[in-house]
């Protein structure tokens, strides 16, 4: 703290992933807490960094998880707030059983006690939770006017700040949370592939100086192959979420247009957009899903449009500068039909076959997919992993969904469809047990073995 020139009670700006920022107040912690934080940041470059503690709301506002690196900068110029607009999320109100903020007396019971005499810092767009008579509600800071500027980005809320809480609850912006639930902790059964992707994608984005020191160019692209549902898209999203890189998705069929030259223009704009945002987001990742649909072998392409798109993609990948911090990730389940000129070093430098997970991989995936489920004591995930040979990640996710649906079907007679909400006693009694998973195993079949199934007829 002393080296940064900040002290207890000062205001700092915290920059996390994907350019997300928030404002916080410095508070010194005890020596035991310092030791606990330091013990969680061992290994790699993090040993040279300092440790800070953040609340769950602050971590979400900065787009980071525990153990991630953030940039902390003193923010002494943050002004006192003149007027701020605080609104609750509509789904948060509905979970508390009220329709509007006025109906639940939200200002008096929640907002006023939260801010009064606390000198809290706020950044426009920040979300935070407040506990009150109706339970926990989530709010968002929509607008900020400081004493010197209207429409400011941040402020310190003082007793003279006018807090407005009038209006309907706001809906969540799903686009902003597109990568909120992505991360390495959501990937199971792909330890080796994850290590390779981090080496080829994350390392060049975070530390490009390593490649410059060795006098070689960083990798430009990685091609992920494997059967449908094995986690190729999830892998790309996880890398983007963890690195905080700008993530641009190109779905192959969406690029193709009937108008002459428009397909190539759409592809070129995607690369230009990624390069333009790379500096602000500490790198950019272009993810081309179903790349085989826009880059087939030119000798087998159906028309001139497909040939021109392939040529444009080759030109764009060759045109990526080593200092641009842009990496291309392609995904396909048909690697043999892709133009061979793409599958060489300098374009797609490495091909990673995700494949079908083994027993240990299936167990990891099941543990991830069921960690938020209410499971009965008789559910043996290891037994399920042993009996799910040929299942990929999507199949195992569907297996958990079918088990949950069967659990709901068993309680369907107790649910009153005319009521707005299900009784709490019924909700508390819903537990997914082994019988529900047994039913799901009979419904969900391994997608990777569908083409190899053999029907055996036994005559008595």
Every domain of the chain and the residues it spans: 11-74, 81-164, 184-353, 359-452
Span between the terminal Cα atoms of the chain, in Å: 82
Instruction: Reply yes or no on whether the pLDDT at 404 is more than 90.
Output: yes
Q: Are 124 and 21 in contact (CB under 8 A)?
A: no
Q: What is the C-alpha to C-alpha distance for residues 180 and 240, in angstroms, rounded to an integer?
A: 11
Task: Give the pLDDT mean for 21-35.
Answer: 73
- Tell me which of 190 and 256 has the higher pLDDT: 190
Between strands 284-289 and 246-251, the pairing is parallel
What pLDDT does residue 6 have?
77
φ, ψ dihedrals at 346, nearest 5°: 105, -20
298's CB contacts (< 8 A; 6+ apart) are: 306, 307, 310, 311, 339
Calculate Rg over the CA atoms of the chain.
26
Q: What is the mean pLDDT of the chain?
A: 83
Q: Report the predicted TM-score, pTM, of the whole model to 2 decimal places.
A: 0.67
Q: Are 189 and 358 in contact (CB under 8 A)?
A: yes
Using one digit for the tens of pLDDT, what is the confidence trace for 95-140? 777 777 666 688 888 999 999 988 999 999 999 999 988 888 999 9
Task: Give the pLDDT mean for 233-246.
Answer: 85
Task: Give the pLDDT mean for 427-446.
Answer: 90
What pLDDT does residue 456 have?
56
Q: What is the C-alpha to C-alpha distance for residues 116 and 160, in angstroms, rounded to an integer?
A: 10
Instruction: Reply yes or no on whether the pLDDT at 415 is more than 50.
Output: yes
What pLDDT does residue 457 have?
64
Instruction: Reply yes or no on whether the pLDDT at 460 is more than 70.
Output: no
φ, ψ dihedrals at 432, nearest 5°: -85, 120
282's CB contacts (< 8 A; 6+ apart) are: 205, 206, 243, 244, 245, 325
Angle at 22 between CA 16 and CA 25, to 5 degrees: 115
Q: What is the C-alpha to C-alpha distance for residues 399 and 376, in angstroms, rounded to an integer?
A: 16
**Closest residue by Cα to residue 330 from 348, 316, 309, 311:** 348
Q: pLDDT confidence of 9, banded at 50, 70, 90?
A: confident
What pLDDT does residue 19 have?
64
Q: Which CATH architecture has domain 359-452?
A: Orthogonal Bundle (1.10)
Residue range 81-164, CATH number:
3.10.330.10
Q: Are 144 and 126 in contact (CB under 8 A)?
A: no
**Closest residue by Cα to residue 386 from 356, 360, 404:** 360
Q: What is the C-alpha to C-alpha distance for residues 303 and 80, in angstroms, rounded to an integer?
A: 63
Using one digit for the tens of pLDDT, what is the confidence trace for 158-192? 999 999 988 778 887 654 455 666 778 788 888 88
Give helix 262-278 / helix 304-318 axis angle, nearest 10°: 20
Q: Are 17 and 244 in contact (CB under 8 A)?
A: yes
φ, ψ dihedrals at 285, nearest 5°: -120, 125
Superfamily of domain 184-353 in CATH is P-loop containing nucleotide triphosphate hydrolases (3.40.50.300)
φ, ψ dihedrals at 455, nearest 5°: -95, 125
Instruction: Reply yes or no on whether the pLDDT at 376 is more than 60.
Output: yes
Q: Are 382 and 363 in contact (CB under 8 A)?
A: yes
């Amino acid at each position: 703290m002393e080296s940064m020139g900040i002290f207890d009670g000062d205001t700092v700006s915290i920059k996390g992933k994907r350019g997300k920022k928030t404002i916080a107040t410095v508070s010194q912690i005890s020596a035991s807490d310092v030791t606990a934080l330091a013990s969680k940041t061992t290994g790699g470059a993090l040993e040279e960094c300092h440790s800070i503690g953040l609340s769950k709301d602050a971590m979400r506002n900065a787009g980071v998880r525990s153990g991630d690196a953030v940039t902390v900068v003193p923010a002494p110029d943050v002004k006192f707030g003149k007027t701020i607009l605080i609104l609750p999320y509509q789904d948060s109100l509905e979970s508390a059983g009220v329709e509007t903020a006025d109906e639940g007396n939200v200002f008096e019971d929640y907002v006023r006690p939260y801010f009064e005499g606390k000198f809290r810092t706020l950044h426009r767009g920040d979300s935070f939770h407040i506990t009150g008579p109706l339970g926990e509600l989530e709010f968002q800071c929509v607008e900020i006017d400081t004493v010197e500027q209207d429409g400011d980005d941040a402020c310190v809320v003082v007793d003279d700040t006018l807090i407005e809480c009038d209006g309907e609850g706001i809906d969540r912006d799903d686009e902003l949370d597109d990568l909120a639930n992505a991360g390495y902790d959501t990937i199971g059964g792909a330890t080796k592939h994850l290590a390779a992707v981090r080496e080829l994608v994350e390392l060049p984005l975070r530390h490009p100086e390593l490649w410059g020191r060795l006098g070689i160019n960083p990798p430009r692209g990685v091609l992920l192959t494997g059967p449908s549902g094995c986690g190729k898209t999830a892998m790309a999203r996880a890398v983007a979420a963890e690195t905080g890189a700008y993530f641009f998705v190109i779905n192959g069929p969406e690029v193709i247009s009937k108008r002459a030259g428009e397909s190539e223009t759409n592809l070129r704009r995607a690369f230009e957009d990624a390069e333009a945002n790379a500096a602000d987001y500490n790198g950019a990742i272009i993810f081309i899903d179903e790349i085989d649909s826009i880059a087939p072998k030119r000798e087998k392409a159906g028309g001139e449009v497909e040939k021109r798109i392939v040529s444009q993609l080759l030109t764009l990948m060759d045109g990526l500068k080593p200092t641009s911090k842009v990496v291309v990730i392609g995904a396909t389940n048909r690697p043999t039909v892709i133009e061979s000129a793409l599958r060489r070093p300098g374009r797609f430098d490495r091909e990673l076959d995700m494949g079908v997970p083994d027993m240990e991989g299936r167990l990891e995936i099941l543990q991830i997919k069921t960690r938020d489920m209410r499971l009965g004591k008789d559910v043996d995930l290891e037994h399920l992993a042993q009996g799910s040979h040929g299942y990929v990640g999507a199949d195992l996710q569907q297996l958990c969904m079918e088990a949950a649906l069967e659990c709901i079907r068993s309680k369907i007679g107790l649910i009153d469809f005319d009521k707005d909400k299900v009784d709490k006693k019924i909700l508390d009694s819903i537990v997914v047990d082994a019988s529900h998973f047994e039913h799901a195993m009979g419904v969900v079949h391994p997608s990777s073995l569908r083409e190899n199934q053999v029907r055996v007829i036994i005559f008595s």
